[in-house]
Amino acid sequence: MTDDSTPTDRDAQTADVPAHWNHTRRMTDGGQPAEQGRDGVLIGNQADEEAVLDRGPFERWASKAIKNPERAYKSMFYTATIFFLLTTLFPFYWLLMVALTPEGRQQDIILTPNGFNPGAFIEVFEVLPFHWYMFNSFVIATASTIIVLVIGSLAGYAFGRLNFRGKLPLMLLVLVISFFPPAAFFIPLNDLFNTSFFALEPITGDGTLYNTPGAMVLPLSAIFMPLAIFILTTFYAQIPDGLEDAARVEGTTRLGALFRVIIPLSAPGVATAGVLTFIAVYNEFFFSFLMTDGQPENWAPLLEGILGYQGQYEVLYHLMAASSIIGVIPVAILVIVAQEKIVSGLTAGALKE
């Protein structure tokens, strides 16, 4: 090993070399095993002072990130966000481009529409009564949400606030049923809904539920109920017993306490369950597609409307795209509004205890 205190020519020479040459020098040294030890010391000495100079931009960034992990988290956050936004929003952008491109020119759309035809957004309502399909979807989704919230609240109250025998098995049963594939229910349900019941005749005319909102509301409420029950159970269980006791002593029944105190205080949970159910029903494909004959007057939902632009001999892609965008807008608005509600509920819901 060469002592540092007795510099050789080579050391002196190295010292004279401009800083950006060191990289090159080290590379060449690698090919000279005999002098490696000597240079090893040399490089070791330099490393302290010139490490920053030695590194490429990525290495520099990495060393900064190690010293300051916030940077790494921030960049990870941005990467994930950009990825997420690209993968979710780009299809919508593409949909918009397809909608704006006039009929028959749908090939070769690259980022910009081939032409400009905003009239497609009006045409969708002219070709089919698309508003009627949307109305049907709204009615079905709203009815399902109301049913899910009311029944889910009662179940959530029982599961969250009462102690009774068989509570856990019952809850597990609800959970297990929610794992069944909806298709498993289809054949029996379709059979059932096509069976004529005398009691239903005054309501549906022919006594069957097929081609009525009931044929979608009933199975969809049942399918999305377990999730709502779980969300509501968690929220209702957190309301202090004292508040319910106070309400009951003040003059409500248990049910009154649920609606006057527990539900208002669980507003964020109820909003979450409601929004999730509404969106799930609104977006649902399987039962929506099969439980009606596809006619708007027979309560066919949005989905049938969008598929309605697909004829036997031609597919009106630009109208399908336009109607898809129109169909998404109400849900997007709902999510934005509900999100505000949920956040405000979370910050305002300060419970003592």
Partner 1 sequence: MARVRLENVTKRYEDVTAVDDVSLDIEDGEFVTFVGPSGCGKSTTMETVAGLTKPTEGRVYIGDDDVTTLAPKDRGVAMVFQNIALFPHMDVYDNISFGLRLRTYDDAEIERRVEQAADIVQLEGMLDRMPGEMSGGQQQRVGIARAIVRNPDVFLMDEPLANLDAKLRVHMRTELQRLHRELETTIIYVTHDQAEAMTMSNRIAVLNEGRLQQIAPPLVCYNEPTNLFVAGFIGSPSMNFAEGTLVETGLETRNFDIEFDPAQLQGVTVGDDITLGIRPEDVHLRKNADSLAAQTAPIDAQTDVLEPMGDEVFVYLLLSEAETGSMEQDPASSPNQLLMSVTPDTAIEAEEDVDVVLDRSKIHLFDTASGDALLHGLVERSEREPGTTPTEADS
Site for partner 1 in 250-269 (CB under 8 A): 250-253, 256, 261, 264-265
Least distance to partner 1, CB of residue 251, Å: 4
Q: Which region, left, alpha or beta, applies to residue 17 given φ > 0 means left and ψ of -120 to 50 means alpha?
A: beta
Nearest to 249 by CA among 261, 237, 233: 261
Q: Which of 35, 250 has the CB closer to partner 1? A: 250
Both tokens of 260, joined, read 């006057």
Least distance to partner 1, CB of residue 271, Å: 14
Distance (Å, whole) CA 130 – CA 132: 5
Distance between first and last Cα of the chain? 72
Applying CB under 8 A, which part among 9-17, 80-88, 236-244, 306-314 lies near partner 1? 236-244
Least distance to partner 1, CB of residue 263, Å: 10
Q: Which of 161, 318 has the CB closer to partner 1? A: 161
Least distance to partner 1, CB of residue 350, Å: 5
332-351 footprint of partner 1 as x/- string (CB under 8 A) = -----------------xxx
Q: Which of 37, 242 has the CB closer to partner 1? A: 242
| Of 40, 44, 119, 240, the one binding partner 1 by CB under 8 A | 240
- Show the beta-strand stretches assigned E in the chain: none
| Cβ–Cβ < 8 Å for 178, 224 | no
Residues contacting residue 46 through CB under 8 Å, at least 6 positions apart: 22
Distance (Å, whole) CA 155 – CA 177: 15
Nearest to 26 by CA among 66, 53, 61, 64: 53
| Cβ–Cβ < 8 Å for 7, 42 | no
Applying CB under 8 A, which part among 51-59, 211-219, 248-256, 274-282 lies near partner 1? 248-256
Q: Which of 107, 163 has the CB closer to partner 1? A: 163
Distance (Å, whole) CA 32 – CA 39: 10
Q: Which of 91, 240 has the CB closer to partner 1? A: 240
Site for partner 1 in 307-336 (CB under 8 A): none
Q: Check binding of 353 to partner 1 (CB under 8 A).
A: yes
Q: Which of 231, 265 has the CB closer to partner 1? A: 265
Both tokens of 18, joined, read 């401009």
The HSE-up count of residue 107 (CA atoms within 13 Å, CB side) is: 1
Least distance to partner 1, CB of residue 335, Å: 24
Q: Check binding of 248 to partner 1 (CB under 8 A).
A: yes
Distance (Å, whole) CA 158 – CA 156: 5
Distance (Å, whole) CA 271 – CA 302: 23
Q: Check binding of 162 to partner 1 (CB under 8 A).
A: no
Q: Which of 41, 267 has the CB closer to partner 1? A: 267
Distance (Å, whole) CA 168 – CA 61: 52
262-301 footprint of partner 1 as x/- string (CB under 8 A) = --xx------------------------------------
Least distance to partner 1, CB of residue 337, Å: 20
Distance (Å, whole) CA 211 – CA 192: 13
Both tokens of 344, joined, read 């405000």
27-66 footprint of partner 1 as x/- string (CB under 8 A) = ----------------------------------------
Both tokens of 190, joined, read 């379709």
Q: Which of 294, 349 has the CB closer to partner 1? A: 349
Least distance to partner 1, CB of residue 165, Å: 11
Q: Kindly list the residues in this chain that would bind partner 1 in the complex (CB under 8 A).
A: 240, 242-243, 245-253, 256, 261, 264-265, 349-353
